[in-house]
Amino acid sequence: MTTVDDRTPTVADVSGPSRLAEPDEAISAEELQLAARNHGIPLEALRYDVTPAGLHYLLIHYDIPDVDPVAHTLTIGGAVDRPLTVTLADLRERPRVTRQVTLECAGNGRALLHPRPVSQPWLVEAVGNAEWTGTPLAPLLREAGLGPDAVDVVFTGADHGVERGVEQDYQRALSVADALREEVLLAYEMNGAPLLPQHGAPLRLIVPGWYGMAHVKWLQSVEIRTEPFEGYQNAVAYRVRTDADDPGVPVTRIEPRALVRPPGFPDFMSRRRVLRPGPCTVDGRAWSGHAPVVSVEVTTDGGQSWAPAELDPADGGDFAWRRWRYEWSATPGRHVLGARATDASGRTQPVEQPWNRGGFANNLVQRVEVVVPAE
């Protein structure tokens, strides 16, 4: 006989705690459901300097909210002298800035970790580079008049859900100093067109150099606080920790990464590549949120040896990815390609990935298996 639980349910009953997969545990139906809602960039789309909107990676925490762009307003309040309420039309009347920015999900690479943190099962494709148009945030904060005791700026989206038992609007905070950086944008266009619903329409935050969790979509309010923000997405989620009891350190700027645009053509199921023997230009993209990328090295033998690649000029600006290329003579056999980026701060990609419980800020060198058949 089945036991009936007649206890009145709570919101927490629909949302379990975080966990790690068992050593041989396959991707679960829940993870597959997340993977169907969210998607990464097809790696062949690394050919584009600017990622088309439909190919850009996508992560939606809860539901895409139904927001009317005509009626939508943004409020700026909290510890300010002059609270503001502005419409999208008001923002379009302000100074207009377009900036290329590479966005990467903080969990990119999570599914490659062992043991695997159970969440959105990203491999390496959670990235894209778009042109974002909007108006700088800092002038509006100054117009509102930040108090001398202001500490954090909290950004609230219109998306609402429950996560690990906590019901919430999606909220993230930046320090006042970070929020006042001149490159931080209130964006209303992507690649020269109004934002699409899945990318935050009608208004989102763009924080160049930071992982995707900071770029709050469907932005509806900005609140200045005199105490550090302890909301879920800052204090609990998006922290690098070694175990469940570790308070961890916050995830912030993007670690350096290079991706290979896979050469040749793929097997349908495995995505292993088939490449004809002979000369081949291996290329891809590299980026970092800490400092400009200054070098990329390429391996064609699974990391046994490395050779320098050529970097294209940084035409997209300080926060956009750069193309790199390497001339290779493909010989018959099996090869494992990869690329390793180093930025001006001295950070470089590891060949052995440090593990963390949330699966964040993983920038382990990518492996691209290539088969070169004999003629």
For 257-372, CATH gives 2.60.40.650
| pLDDT score, position 298 | 98
The H-assigned helical ranges of 118-219 are 138-144, 176-179
Is pLDDT at 16 greater than 90 in this prediction?
no
What pLDDT band is residue 294 in, cutting at 50, 70 and 90? Answer: very high
pTM here is: 0.95
| pLDDT score, position 1 | 52
Is pLDDT at 2 greater than 70 in this prediction?
no
Is pLDDT at 207 greater than 80 in this prediction?
yes
| H or E stretch at 76 | strand 73-78
pLDDT tens sequence across 92-140: 999 999 999 999 999 999 999 999 999 999 999 999 999 999 999 999 9
Is pLDDT at 4 greater than 90 in this prediction?
no
Is the model more confident about 142 or about 13? 142
pLDDT tens sequence across 159-182: 999 998 889 999 999 999 999 999
Percent of the chain surpassing pLDDT 70:
98
Burial string for 98-110 (b: 16+ CB within 10 Å, else e) reads ebbbbbbbbbbbb
Mean pLDDT of 34-55: 97
| pLDDT score, position 60 | 97
| pLDDT score, position 151 | 97
What pLDDT band is residue 8 in, cutting at 50, 70 and 90? Answer: confident
pLDDT tens sequence across 48-87: 999 999 999 999 999 999 999 999 999 999 999 999 999 9
Mean pLDDT of 212-218: 98
Mean pLDDT of 24-50: 94
Average pLDDT, the chain: 95
148 prior amide bond cis, ω within 30: no
- CA dist 205 and 200 (Å) reads 9
Neighbouring CB atoms inside 10 A of 162's CB total: 14
Would you say how long the chain is, in residues?
Answer: 375
pLDDT tens sequence across 251-281: 999 999 999 999 999 999 999 999 999 999 9
Contact of 198 with 218, CB cutoff 8 Å: no
What pLDDT band is residue 13 in, cutting at 50, 70 and 90? Answer: confident
Contact of 254 with 345, CB cutoff 8 Å: no
- Among 1.10.287.610, 3.90.420.10, 1.10.240.10, 1.25.40.10, what is the CATH number of 18-250? 3.90.420.10
Tell me which of 3-7, 187-191, 260-264, 318-322 is least confident.
Answer: 3-7
Is pLDDT at 191 greater than 90 in this prediction?
yes
Is pLDDT at 3 greater than 70 in this prediction?
no
| pLDDT score, position 15 | 79
Tokens for 162? 């429950």
| pLDDT score, position 5 | 62
Domains 18-250 and 257-372 share a fold: no
Residue 324 carries which DSSP code? Answer: E
Is pLDDT at 375 greater than 90 in this prediction?
no
Tell me which of 230-244, 277-291, 332-346 is least confident.
Answer: 230-244
Mean pLDDT of 213-235: 96
Residue ranges covered by each domain of the chain = 18-250, 257-372
Percent of the chain surpassing pLDDT 90:
89
| pLDDT score, position 94 | 98
